[in-house]
C-alpha cells in the first residue's frame, strides 16, 4: 500500500460539553472518543497500526458488514464471487473493504466532517458503481453517524461502525460493565459464524440482555452457542415496529461512572465481545455493538433483503449518546 500523509491525517471534532473525537479518513475510522478527557474506546498505540487494523478498530465497514457465506451470492440469477483474503467467508467487505480504503474528507468544521468514497463496479466482487457518504457529527455528548449510498446497478449493502467500547479507566478487561440490548431474539450461528437460518428467543438464556447484565458473569456461559463462537458474536434482532427514539442498547461502567446508549435506524446489531482480540490488546478487553443489517442476508432467503435497486438512496443512522451515572 502506498502511504501518504492523507492516510494518517486526523480530524478532531469537539463540543463544549466535553466530548472530543478523532477521525481518520483512512477507513473512515473513529480513532478516539473521549468524554471529559476519558477515553471510552480501545485505541492502537501507533498510527501505523490503524493502516493494518486487523481488528477493524473504529472503522467504517462495507460494502457488506459481517459475513457472506463462502464469499458468494446470487442477484437476479447472476452469481457474484467476492474476495476473501485468507477467510473462509467474505468478512466485512472482503479482502480489502471500506475499512482499509482512503476516504475523502470533503467538508469539516469543529463539530462535523463529511467523508466520501467511490467504490467501483466489481470492487471486491460487488456489482455497481457505489457512491458512499458518511457524515460524522458531534453535539453535547453524542456522536452521530449518517451513512448514505447510491449505486448505478442493483446491489447489496450493509454499512456499520466497528468501534470497541471499554468505559473503564483500565482497558484490560470488561469488568464492571453492564449491558442491555432491546431484543427478544438472536441468530444462532455455525462454527464459522454463518447464521443457521432461524432465530432463537433470548428468554431464559445467557443471550438475554433485555435487562442489564454484568458482562463478566456472562463469560462463564456453557450455552452451546456461546461455546460455538468462543463468546458473543451474534446478531440481535430489533422489533420492526419499534420506536426509533428509544435506545436499542446501553452499556455502563460502574467503575468509571460512564455509560453509552445506542440509537439506530438499523434492523439489528451484532454484539461481539472481543473474543479474538490480540496484541496489543487481550481477548474481551473491548466489545462492539455493530448496528447493521442481517448477516449473510443475500444467501438467506427468509431474512430481510439487503438489496438496493439502481439509483435508490440507502440511508442509515447510528448514534452513540454518552452520559454520566
Q: Give the cell for residue 313.
A: 438512496
Task: Please return the burial class of 271, using the count of CB atoms within 10 Å of its CB with bins 0-12, 13-18 and 19+.
Answer: buried
Task: Give the separation between CA 193 and CA 229, rounded to whole angstroms.
Answer: 7
Enumerate residues 6+ apart whose C-beta is below 8 A from 224.
none
Question: Which pLDDT belongs to residue 1?
Answer: 54
Question: Which pLDDT belongs to residue 6?
Answer: 74
Chain-centroid distance, C-alpha 84 = 19
Task: Give the separation between CA 149 and CA 131, rounded to whole angstroms.
Answer: 5
DSSP H or E run through 32: strand 29-35
- 3-state class of 48 per DSSP? helix
What's 50's DSSP letter? H
Question: Which pLDDT belongs to residue 3?
Answer: 57
Task: Give the separation between CA 178 and CA 218, rounded to whole angstroms.
Answer: 10
User: pLDDT tens digits, the chain, 325 residues: what are they?
Assistant: 555 667 889 999 999 999 999 999 999 999 999 999 999 999 999 999 999 999 999 999 999 999 999 999 999 999 999 999 889 999 999 999 999 999 999 999 999 999 999 999 999 999 999 999 999 999 999 999 999 999 999 999 999 999 999 999 999 999 999 999 999 999 999 999 999 999 999 999 999 999 999 999 999 999 999 999 999 999 999 999 999 999 999 999 999 999 999 999 999 999 999 999 999 999 999 999 999 999 999 999 999 999 999 999 999 999 999 999 9
DSSP H or E run through 304: none
What's the full length of the chain, in residues?
A: 325
Q: Is the dihedral of CA 226, 291, 69, 98 positive or negative?
A: negative
Residues assigned a catalytic role: 162, 290
Question: Which pLDDT belongs to residue 85?
Answer: 86
Structural domains for the chain: 5-324 (2.70.98.10)
pTM of whole model > 0.95?
yes
Question: Which pLDDT belongs to residue 86?
Answer: 83
Question: Which pLDDT belongs to residue 7?
Answer: 84
Pairing type for strands 67-68 and 130-139 reads unpaired
Bridge partners of 313, per DSSP, are 150
Amino acid at each position: 500500500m502506498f502511504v501518504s500523509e492523507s492516510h494518517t491525517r486526523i480530524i478532531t471534532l469537539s463540543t463544549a460539553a466535553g466530548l472530543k473525537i478523532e477521525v481518520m479518513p483512512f477507513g473512515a475510522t473513529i480513532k478516539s472518543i473521549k468524554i471529559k478527557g476519558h477515553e471510552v474506546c480501545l485505541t492502537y498505540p501507533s498510527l501505523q497500526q490503524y493502516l493494518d487494523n486487523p481488528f477493524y478498530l473504529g472503522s467504517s465497514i462495507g460494502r457488506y458488514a459481517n459475513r457472506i457465506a463462502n464469499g458468494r451470492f446470487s442477484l437476479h440469477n447472476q452469481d457474484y464471487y467476492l474476495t476473501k483474503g485468507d477467510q473462509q467467508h467474505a468478512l466485512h467487505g472482503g479482502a480489502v473493504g471500506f475499512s482499509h480504503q482512503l476516504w475523502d474528507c470533503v467538508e469539516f468544521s469543529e463539530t462535523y466532517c463529511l467523508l466520501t468514497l467511490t467504490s467501483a463496479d466489481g470492487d471486491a466482487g460487488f456489482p455497481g458503481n457505489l457512491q458512499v457518504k458518511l457524515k460524522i457529527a458531534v453535539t453535547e455528548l453524542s456522536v452521530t453517524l449518517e451513512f448514505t449510498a447510491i449505486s448505478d446497478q442493483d446491489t447489496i449493502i450493509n454499512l456499520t461502525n466497528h468501534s470497541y467500547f471499554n468505559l473503564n479507566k483500565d482497558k484490560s478487561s470488561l469488568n464492571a460493565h453492564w449491558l442491555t440490548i432491546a431484543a427478544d431474539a438472536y441468530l444462532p450461528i455455525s462454527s464459522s459464524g454463518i447464521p443457521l437460518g432461524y432465530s432463537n428467543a433470548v428468554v431464559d438464556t445467557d443471550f438475554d440482555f433485555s435487562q442489564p447484565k454484568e458482562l463478566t458473569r456472562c463469560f462463564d456461559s456453557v450455552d452451546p452457542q456461546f461455546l460455538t463462537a468462543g463468546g458473543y458474536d451474534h446478531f440481535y434482532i430489533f422489533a420492526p415496529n419499534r420506536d426509533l427514539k428509544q435506545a436499542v442498547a446501553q452499556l455502563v461502567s460502574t467503575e468509571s461512572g460512564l455509560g453509552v446508549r445506542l440509537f439506530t435506524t438499523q434492523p439489528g446489531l451484532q454484539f461481539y465481545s472481543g473474543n479474538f482480540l490480540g496484541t496489543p490488546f487481550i481477548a474481551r478487553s473491548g466489545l462492539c455493538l455493530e448496528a447493521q443489517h442481517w448477516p449473510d442476508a443475500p444467501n438467506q432467503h427468509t431474512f430481510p433483503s439487503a438489496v438496493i435497486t439502481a439509483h435508490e438512496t440507502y440511508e442509515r443512522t447510528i448514534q452513540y449518546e454518552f452520559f454520566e451515572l
